[in-house]
Structure 1
Amino acid sequence: ADLFQKAGAKYVVPVAEHHDGFQMYASEISHWNAAEMGPCRNVLGELKEAVEARGMTLGASTHRVEHWFFMGHGKDFDSDIKEPLQRGDFYWPAMPEPGNHHDLFSEPTPTQEFLEDWLCRCCEIVDKYQPKLVYFDWWIQHHAVKPYLKKFAAYYYNRAAEWGIEVAITYKHEAFMFGCAVPDVERGQFADIKPFFWQTDTAIATNSWCYTEGNHFKSAKGLICDLVDIVAKNGTLLLNVGPKPDGSISEQDTAVLTEIGEWMAVNSEAIYGTKVWRKYGEGPTKIQEGQFTDSKEKVFTSEDIRFTVKGENLYCTVLSWPEDGHVVIKSLGHSADANLPEFHGIVKDVDVLGCDEKPVWERKEGGLHVTMPGIKTNKPVVVRVKID
């Protein structure tokens, strides 16, 4: 929790239960949980205390619905996954995996017994730990799950109203009617600004969600650029790190989170509590839209700039600072036609976050010219523009 706080995280979402069906919290529904087996610790409960004590918000993720078929292939060879299986067994129900995961009407259809068990587990997480966000993985969009998904959403939102807190659910693949929950893009982004709030979830490791020997890791620079781009488009970033078996975080993950935290310590005012501007940004580099599109780090130029706004400040984050220290923010140039939907405001002052020295700036027809030599960094630089 200390590391997450230093990295600048505002919310932390531990996995409450993954596809394997092992609960990482004390449960009254199944004995197959971390409080009774393995580490014999209530992992979710302990993280809740640690996270909230440091002023961060707790969420919880559940991937339980895929357990319908997750253990099914264990029946394809000689293993301990054998019938009869019944509710409460770790391997239950171990059904055949659908040939097409995105077939909304695949068979065998999850049974009422399985779906009631799924609903009870989700509600137990809510009641015991009061997470302010519940993250659902895929397959909740299956037609058989929909009635139970609606029941859960109603239960969760009503409980939140009783407790006087605001909560959210994230989802993929149109599992919810638009406006009922927060859309999530797994390992990807939107190409343009959105009028609705959304989330990207991705991992520091490019090839795994968990700790794996030989993992390949993204750079802090690349992740910061993604964060800036996402926030400028009305989104938020949920960044995954996979702990080792003893609960510790790898040196590589720690190093990346520490670098992100150092950048946030200087530039967080361009992220926290900001709103989108009239446009998300400018520049030649285009973002590939959709899920599973972030395996390669994007290469940005000094012309790639992202905008956020708070109060009288417009934050112009230059994703790649030029060696000569001269940038042109084209969206802030003098407009020759007052009838065009362009910026027509008054620029009162310009400075650079983290720098005591004031930049030289001049507003021309082609853009706002900002010169600040001496900055040596490979990470984004925030130009703060005060608007009258």
Structure 2
Amino acid sequence: MKNFLFTLLFCVTATVTFGQTKLNKYYPVEDVAVQKKLDDWKTLKFGLFMHWGTYSQWGIVESWALCAEDESWCKRGNPNYEDFKRDYVALKNTFNPNKFNPAKWAEAASKAGMRYIVFTTKHHDGFNMFDTQLSDYKITSTECPFHSNPKADVTNEIFKEFRKKGFMIGAYLSKPDWHNENFWWPNFATPDRNVNYNIDKYPERWQAYVDFFHGQVDELMTNYGQIDILWMDGGWVRPLSKGQRKLITFINGLFLKSGYSQLHIPQNQDLKITEMAEKARKKQPGLIVVDRHIEGPNENYLTPEQFIPDHYIDKPWESCITLGGSWSYMPNDTYKSSREIIHMLCDVASKNGSLLLNVGPSPEGEWAPEVYQRFDEIGKWLTVNGDAIYKTTGRKKYGDGKERYTVNKDGSVNAFYLIDETEKNLPKVITFNQLKVGKKDSIILLGYDGKLKWRKKKGGIQVEIPNEIQKTKDEKYALAFKVVGTDNN
């Protein structure tokens, strides 16, 4: 009987907390203003993500070391958890990013060809990077040395500078708050990432947390100018379906009869997101709400994390991927190459998505030199080839091997040839196997004014690459061809 109960518990837990990397069924947006904002967002294709908080001082993973789960990303230096947690919380007292220069970041991101930003106003650890009035665990607290800086409200400064560059503005907000006593109640231990008390037994405590979360959303919607995206993380904080609640009630009863009354079983962690979204859109009409991994009307676009789907998706989606090896700042981090990011961008666009590329600022408020170098190279490539990325859609035959395709509004097709690092010179002939071209159609190489010769071959085409293009060192990441007058969808 005991083994049966534990097996049943595991199965229920898995349906509630696991499987968050899968792509959910998409629910179309009904609000006309949100539809319009979403259509505008889908044209942007390339955004900046930033994870930044007190954890950058230690160069460790954001927030997760506070979590008592035995996972690789939860490792901490101090084996004594209570000492570690005390020292982690005290990082507020030494956080002083006095080299913070959001205008420099906005300029670099704009030159890189990015068009929207999502910034972590608060991660799971509960440290607020904005001037919330609902918690003193924040960068503007008098206990934080940076509070006296004129730019202490870094969220406001970042949004202001990126807005000047025409960026769509996205506010990341964690649904769990491990510093809030109505989420992690000090009366009990914190066995995992979830709320650590019985919500059914203490409903007033959970309601206080719901009010707190709604209050912080309201602050962001009220005090920080136009917000285009509310990007909520922490998908395990979710309501349970009626079926799940009935099953868990049944399992709870079995456990009580068997003498296991203190086991942690998934709970109905309902933050009333629909109600919150309605209130938020009264102040920010058209707000895109991203309740990550929660299938339903509040997941306005899908967010695969650290991977690119292997197929075309006809719904709005975005891959969030780190430029370095971690979401947060790590000393001597290893960064993806410009070639890798450009190839990712072509791949994502060909499958109808967007790329949200993450950078973790240092404790001083700087980006690593490698970030600027990558952004400069990516921007130069997009200056020439951006017309094949922005305002395009993907297509079902998105490409294979070194070829990728996007479609322009007028129906013309863009074909990318992804250049390998080992290719010192370009080939004399490039074959596109999934491209149909009519006799009267023309093929243009973006950034090249000359005419191209091409011929049909086995259902595709072969394009002759001019001599001067073959030997140039400028074309080292990807070539973008535009095929005018075709219907390749």
TM-score normalized by structure 2?
A: 0.62
The 5-angstrom pairing of residues 8-157 of structure 1 reads 8-36=113-141, 37-40=144-147, 41-63=152-174, 65-67=175-177, 70=178, 96-99=189-192, 108-109=198-199, 111-129=206-224, 130-139=226-235, 141-143=237-239, 144-157=268-281
Change (3 A) 1:66 1:346: farther
- Which residue does 1:308 correspond to in 2? 407
Provide closer, same or farther for how the CA distance between residues 147 and 92 of structure 1 changes in structure 2, counting only shifts above 3 A: closer
Counterpart of 1:241, as a letter, is V
The question of 1:282 aligning with 2:381 is answered no
Quick one: distance in 2 between partners of 1:275 and 1:43?
Answer: 35
- What does residue range 249-264 of structure 1 map to in structure 2 within 5 Å? 249-264=367-382
> 2: distance between equivalents of 1:327 and 1:347?
20
Alignment of 1:95-244 (within 5 A): 96-99=189-192, 108-109=198-199, 111-129=206-224, 130-139=226-235, 141-143=237-239, 144-161=268-285, 166-173=286-293, 175-177=294-296, 180-206=299-325, 208-244=326-362
Q: For residues 38-73 of structure 1, what are the alpha-carbon distances to aligned partners after superposition, in whole Å with 9 as ceiling and x for unaligned?
A: 42211111112111111111111012x332xx46xx
Q: List alignment gaps of at least 5 residues for structure 2.
A: 1-105, 200-204, 240-267
Q: Corresponding residue for 1:332? A: 435
More helix by share: 2
AA partner of residue 274 (structure 1): T
RMSD over aligned CA atoms reads 2.7
* Post-superposition CA distance 1:95-118 (Å, at most 9, x none): 64455x6x9x98644822222212
- Aligned equivalents of 2:317 and 2:181: distance in 1? 38
Q: Secondary structure at the match of 2:456?
A: strand
- Mark the CA change 1:94 to 1:13 in structure 2 (over 3 Å): closer, same or farther: farther
Change (3 A) 1:96 1:200: farther
> Per the alignment, do residues 15 and 180 of structure 1 end up closer, same or farther by CA in structure 2, a change over 3 Å counting?
closer
Q: Quickly say closer, same or farther: Cα 1:145–1:177, change in 2 above 3 A.
A: same
8 Å Cα contact 1:66-1:139 kept in structure 2: no
1:280 shift after superposition:
4.4
Distance in 2 separating the partners of 1:320 and 1:179: 39
Whole-Å Cα distance in 2 between the matches of residues 354 and 308 of structure 1?
Answer: 18
1:248 is paired with a residue whose SS is coil
For residue 111 of structure 1, give the secondary structure of its aligned residue in structure 2: helix
Question: Secondary structure of the equivalent of 1:184?
Answer: coil
Pick 1 or 2: higher relative contact order, CA cutoff 8 A, min separation 6: 2
Give unpaired runs (5+ residues) of structure 1: 72-84, 285-301, 335-344
After superposition, what is the alpha-carbon deviation per residue over 1:148-180, rounded to whole angstroms, capped at 9, x for unaligned? 22222222233333xxxx32122332x140575
Find the residue that maps to 2:408 and give its secondary structure: strand
Cα deviation for residue 265 of structure 1 reads 0.9
Structure 2 CA distance for aligned equivalents of residues 15 and 209 of structure 1: 11
Tell which deviates more after alignment, 325-334 or 54-63.
Answer: 325-334
**Aligned mates of 2:191, 2:278 — CA distance in 1:** 29
Larger fraction in strand:
1
Aligned residues of 1:140 and 1:146 also touching (Cα < 8 A)? no
2:169 partner SS: strand
Matched pairs, number: 332
Larger Rg: 2
Amino acid corresponding to residue 412 of structure 2 in structure 1: N
* Equivalent position to 2:482, from 374, 384, 388: 384
Change over 3 Å in CA distance of 1:20–1:157 after alignment to 2 = same
In the TM superposition, what is the alpha-carbon distance from 1:308 to its structure 2 partner? 2.9
Note closer, same or farther for the CA distance 1:25–1:147 as it changes in structure 2 (3 Å cut).
Answer: closer
Counterpart amino acid of residue 151 in structure 1: E
TM-score, normalising length: structure 1: 0.77
The match for 1:318 among 402, 414, 417 is: 417
AA of the residue aligned to 1:10: R
- Identical aligned residues as a percent: 23
Deviates more, 1:183-192 or 1:369-378: 369-378
Judging changes above 3 Å, is the alpha-carbon distance between structure 1 residues 93 and 38 closer, same or farther for their aligned structure 2 residues? farther
8 Å contact kept, 1:332–1:363: no
- Cα distance per residue 1:164-214 (max 9 Å; x no partner): xx32122332x14057511111111211111110111111012x1122112
- Distance in structure 2 (CA, Å) of the matches to 1:145 and 1:157: 23
SS of equivalent residue, structure 2 residue 327: coil
Residue 33 of structure 2 corresponds to: none
Aligned position for 1:358: 451
Q: Indicate conservation of the 8 Å contact 2:185/2:196, yes or no.
A: no
Equivalent residue letter for 1:372: I
Residues 171 and 183 in structure 1, CA contact (< 8 A), matched pair in contact too: no
Contact 1:6 1:261 in 2 (8 A): yes
Cα offset, 1:309, TM superposition: 2.3
Contact in 2 for aligned 1:305/1:318 (Cα 8 Å): yes
* Offset at residue 223 of structure 1 (A): 1.1
Q: Give the AA of the match of 1:138.
A: G
Deviations 1:16-36 (A, max 9, x none): 111221211122222332233
Return the letter of the residue paired with 1:54. K
Secondary structure of 2:146's aligned partner? coil
Show CA shifts across 1:309-364 (max 9, x none). Answer: 23253111112266324111122247xxxxxxxxxx66521111112232221234
The answer (yes or no) to whether the contact 2:231–2:289 under 8 Å persists in 1 is yes
8 Å CA contact retained: 1:306, 1:317: yes
